[in-house]
Chains A and B, each alone.
Chain A
């Protein structure tokens, strides 16, 4: 094969592709936000919708075809033809893993294949568990890991850093400095930073997970991709059949073995045979082979090294444990008494269906303009980790906003029309009269009533004559909730001016998504 003379090395094309997809990914990440209308103008959840792992897990859990996730088929088809190009050329987490690799000393591969089968067994376990009712795919999905880390920790931290710096320049630096810094800051604010300061639960944890995935590269390059990534495993299973692939060197090569030494995936063995399943087409070997013996060409569907050496016993064991693990879930008290503070976003499906479809991508929490959506810890069980829940003391659900349902890649949160949104009950408020100022201290307040967004206010007030804490008789207004009008948006709890726990609180009571369950959710007799 004649090389295009002095043209870019093939691996450079791969690097350009990686960079472009990373930029696209980050661009869509930034655009996962309100943009002046209640419509997302970009396909911000694109990466999730082409993710075959999440598509498979969601469809197995829902036992139906999730139309939103059909674009993932495209990636599967392309992988069937071209191999695991996705991991090497597209995946933004893979790109970051490649990018940090130089931090851990000399680059290059690691000859030992290691326990690379782990990812397959993990995949089988995850898919079987998803089908039988324990959805876990989102925990290790590369995009989910990445978006969570970015949304919960990296982006807010960048914001904090910028605010700290530019508050200092604004308040302390001379005018001529501000002539430069202020326009720069407003550019950052407009195009990069979040619109307002946001906080998130599990931010440090999510960051540590992401850092751990990157840091595993210190053991050997692409550790996560080689051994853990269930998406990589799913693609690898398809890549085995790829008819076009790298044709490896032959026995004539002699004792060089350079390709074997540099392969970042450990996909080339001592005999210079390239594993179709493990190769991510980074094309390093192509560029580095001293004799230019490695080529990318037609090898035929069956040909090449396609075997995976999976142990049948281990495959069956992972499938069986995936099928059996969900059996233990109904043994927990959660089955009878869900956490009353587990308030799901408006449009969320009934809990079981919701958990099955939710891929923990964090997109709803990224887009939430009220900063009310936060990652759950164990409130919804082990399988509910990273699923969205409302924390009303931190934010509230904006009455006219439907963005979370628009951004959800699987429909775990339904897309609501504005009318539906206005009538979707996610919880209901109640007053703690021991803390509420007009009741407890005889002090006028009703900030909650002021903010209550339903046109016929769900929080109303009565005039009352009470004795205040100084013993004086005062006339004031005491708020109360009209249950049928309350949709649980939580702005009352959010704006309640007393410090600490609010005096008006929202629980998941009365939520629309469980309206058909005859009151069986939440215990009772």
Chain B
């Protein structure tokens, strides 16, 4: 069976349209994932630092994810030379609050970085994230630019479309990887959410991955596995993503979504754009690979 057929089947199947038995073997972990009913927490509010604390509470707070002495990576989206209100990057206050909570949970070091699309210094500065992390004033909170030496080739053994690529060492070696994407529109993948945010920890020519992107993102998700995904939907970019630039394309939502299940987080965030989870192919493919739940009926959503 070819890949296209596979994806088509999955789309139809998960949309409940095709009732025929799918023609592929379900991997054991897919079965396992289906059995668990992942928790997902949604919080609304205008005080973003407080909102971060609130959204994590139902999941057991940051202490559930970060153990004392852990090396933590907080991976926001800092891809673009855009200001916070333009909604192209993760909100600096959300990043800051997560770093603070990780420090409070006893992290040995919290590293914040992203491989940007525009000039890195401009992105770090104008996203407000560099300033926000520095303002914490704790030496354990580190924001640094990507160091080319740290990209190491990794075999993606479960990868179907992407089997080997350069990944960032800190993302691989940390004890706790926290993914903090901003929810926004994207021309090719429709939306960019948690899975797409992983593009910021990989090296090489990323443009090459845009062919069969959904599968490749799912493949990457087999090696870069966040313990926690917090989707920043404090404001979302509805059009002209992923960069935006026009404030008319931005909608204020004051919402955060958190889950230990990266696929569930993406699936739920999709609904903020009045789309169904299967509108984002990477969600569908990752779910099929057993990386998480996308069926909203099976996700335990806790609104706080």
- Chain A interface (Cβ within 8 Å of chain B)? 34, 36-37, 163, 166-167, 170-171, 195-197, 369-370, 398-401, 437, 443-447, 449-457, 461, 472, 474, 477, 495-497
Contacts and interface: CB of A to CB of B under 8 A. Distances in A.
B187 A450 contact: yes
Interface in B245-272: 245-246, 249
Interface in B148-189: 148-149, 186-188
10 contacts: A36-B125, A163-B149, A166-B149, A167-B149, A445-B211, A450-B242, A453-B118, A455-B246, A477-B188, A496-B207
B38 interface: no
**Listed residue (A170, A457, A477) with the most chain B CB atoms within 10 angstroms of its CB:** A457
Which of B186, B208, B210, B246 has the largest number of chain A CB atoms within 10 A?
B210
Contacts of B149: 163, 166-167, 170-171
Interface string B120-152: 111001100000000000000000000011000
B213 A444 contact: yes
B118 A456 contact: no
Given A171-B149, A496-B207, A450 B186 contact: yes
B81 interface: yes
User: Mostly helix, strand, loop or mixed at chain A's interface?
Assistant: loop
Given A400-B126, A456-B246, A449 B213 contact: no
A195 B121 contact: yes
Contacts of B27: none
Nearest to B125: A36
A461 B187 contact: yes
Top 4 A-B residue pairs of the complex, sorted by shortest distance between their CB atoms: A497-B207, A455-B245, A455-B246, A447-B207
Contacts of A36: 121, 125
A398 B122 contact: yes
A310 to B, nearest CB: 51
Nearest to A33: B121
B29 interface: no
A477 B187 contact: yes
Contacts of B122: 34, 369, 398, 400-401
Contacts of A443: 211
A81 B151 CA distance: 60
B111 to A, nearest CB: 14
Nearest to B145: A195
B35 interface: no
B240 interface: yes
Among B118, B205, B212, B213, residue most surrounded by chain A Cβ atoms (within 10 Å): B118
B190 to A, nearest CB: 10
B208 A497 contact: yes
A451 B240 contact: no
B211 A437 contact: yes
B290 interface: no
Nearest to A451: B117
B23 interface: no
Contacts of A477: 187-188
Contacts of A37: 125
B119 A34 contact: yes
Given A400-B126, A447-B210, 17 more contacts: A36-B125, A163-B149, A195-B120, A195-B121, A196-B120, A197-B148, A369-B122, A401-B119, A444-B211, A444-B213, A446-B210, A451-B117, A451-B243, A452-B243, A453-B118, A453-B245, A455-B249
A30 to B, nearest CB: 15
A446 B205 CA distance: 14
Contacts of A197: 148
Contact of B118 (A195, A399, A444): A399
Nearest to B86: A455
Interface string B73-101: 00000000100000000000000000000
A437 B209 CA distance: 13
Nearest to A499: B205
Contact of A444 (B205, B210, B242): B210
Given A36-B125, A398-B119, A453 B208 contact: no
B280 to A, nearest CB: 14
Contact of A453 (B125, B207, B211, B243): B243
A446 B188 CA distance: 7
B226 interface: no
A453 B4 CA distance: 32
A456 B240 CA distance: 7
